[in-house]
A and B are shown apart, each in its own frame.
Chain A
Amino acid sequence: MKLPSSIEVRRARPLLGTIVEITVRGNNSVHLEEAIDAAFTTVAHVHRLMSFHDPLSDVSWINCHAFYKSAQVHPLTWHVLKCAQEFSRESNGVFDITTARQLVKWNYLPPLEAPLDNGSWRDIVLEDACHVRFRRPVIIDLGGIAKGFAVDRAVEALKHNGVEAGIVNAGGDLRTFGSSPQLIHLRHPGHPTRVAGAVRLRERAMATSGIYFRRRKYSGRYVSPLLHGRTRQSAREQISVTVGAANCMTADALTKVVFALREEAAPLLARYSADAVLLEQDGDPSWMFHPTCDASHQA
């Protein structure tokens, strides 16, 4: 049996609109710090490419230019767009990055010339050589998936630098690696300042979606940034959805689908070998899903 690593290094930086925290364990602190630096560099890169707020990002670039003609993006952005399209297809449009239009309207995203047209993910065309084209004037936001992707990239960077165990946590979207399980607490959906339970997690990613502090009033009724892609209705129940998956991008995207579909998301969760826990407003788990043991984990 391997001896537990003795040193733990924990760092946090403001990135991706949240505080990204990286914790690693090993035997050499200089080496661990170098690995953390490399991991933060990859997260900052994803941030620069995929931020809706940054006018120089790929996302801003295609939001401005992809309707009139094809716009070229970085291969990483193209990869995330491709994955987003796959989640949209698999969820039959419940996951949809073009819901940015509603998020701008409700002031969850900064003002942008938002199209009046009712476009959807089906209007996004991914062409060769990392080109993107919109068939209709849609705008996109990768907020529901890029954080998970950044976490996955950071974990890869840590492993690449020889780190054997750690956690990357981007405001609640996280991934653990290494042989010992970690205890992750879940916020209470009805009382976000409290914890409602915990998940023991090993070699797995996890993401939680809830309305928490983000409910707002718009035109006399409450809205939240969690939207059903097809109906464009925002969730109002103070529940939370936690999804466990092999990678954080999948967990991140699937929380939005489970939030909208609840139990009906089971076949989709099974397809991705993902777990789910749904906490009601009183903090009690009302539904749990675990993929069957023989299912192979999708990378």
Chain B
Amino acid sequence: MTKSEFAFIALPISALVAPSTFAVQYLTVDQAQRAIFPGKSLTAAPVKLVPAQRKAIEQASGVRVLHDEQQVWRVSGGGWFIVDEVVGKHEFITYAVGLNANGAVKQIEVMDYRETYGGQIRDESWRAQFVGKTSQSPLKLDRDIKNVSGATLSCRHITDGVKRLLAFYEIALKH
């Protein structure tokens, strides 16, 4: 049995001003398709909404439609695979939704997650000054921030996005 461990590491003063840029790619489009519809073949069937459809989706879902184009794939044997993105105040999320042949949500997978904050410092030389300066472990901000505790970002934007996609299905996919 491994002994458990909990050790707090304060960051050097220079690191305190660094933004917590946090970005993860979980799945590519191809991987997301295989994760949600394993063994199925998918055919690209992108949809371009006309203004009337856009309006109808907004009315049915109560969520704004920001893009006219929607990335859609038709699944062999029934069902749909849709890639969508949502933007919050601090986050940018790309996600995939699999719909069964009857239009019910089969599975949702986050593909890309990025927390983008204002005032990011992109200067490599500035960043280099504190790399390796922590006593316990070298810290490459950006790349080393893999897990954050105290995150309170909700999944509300994805929930709204799925609501919008279900209205999109009713209006633009279901014939």
Chain A residues proximal to chain B, CB less than 8 Å: 10-15, 17-19, 21, 23, 33, 167, 169, 171-174, 178-179, 181-189, 192-204, 206-210, 212-214, 240, 242, 244, 246, 275, 277, 283-285, 288, 290, 297
Contacts and interface: CB of A to CB of B under 8 A. Distances in A.
Contact of B147 (A14, A33, A169): A169
B150 A203 contact: no
A170 B168 CA distance: 29
Interface residues of B, number: 50
Interface in B126-175: 136-137, 139, 141, 144-156, 158-159
B66 interface: no
B19 A240 contact: no
B16 A194 contact: yes
Contact of B150 (A15, A172, A183, A204): A172
23 contacts: A11-B27, A11-B109, A12-B26, A12-B110, A13-B107, A15-B155, A17-B154, A17-B155, A19-B153, A169-B149, A172-B148, A172-B152, A182-B146, A183-B146, A184-B147, A194-B20, A195-B141, A200-B9, A202-B5, A203-B5, A207-B149, A277-B8, A285-B8
A179 B4 CA distance: 9
Nearest to A40: B107
A194 B150 CA distance: 11
B151 A14 contact: no
Interface in B1-24: 2-11, 15-20, 24
A12 B154 CA distance: 13
A210 B152 contact: yes
B149 A206 contact: yes
B144 A183 contact: yes
A200 B136 contact: yes
B148 A185 contact: yes
Given A195-B18, A202-B4, A203-B2, A18 B153 contact: yes
B4 A246 contact: yes
A193 B26 contact: no
A112 to B, nearest CB: 19
Contacts, number: 168
Nearest to B139: A198
A249 to B, nearest CB: 15
A173 to B, nearest CB: 8
Contact of A193 (B16, B93, B117): B117
Interface in B80-126: 90, 93, 95, 107-110, 113, 115, 117-118
B91 to A, nearest CB: 9
A63 to B, nearest CB: 21
B60 interface: no
B149 A183 contact: no
B35 interface: yes
A275 B4 CA distance: 11
Contacts of A12: 24, 26, 109-110, 113
Most buried by B among A11, A21, A194: A194
Most buried by A among B10, B15, B24, B144: B10
B117 A199 contact: no
Nearest to A203: B4
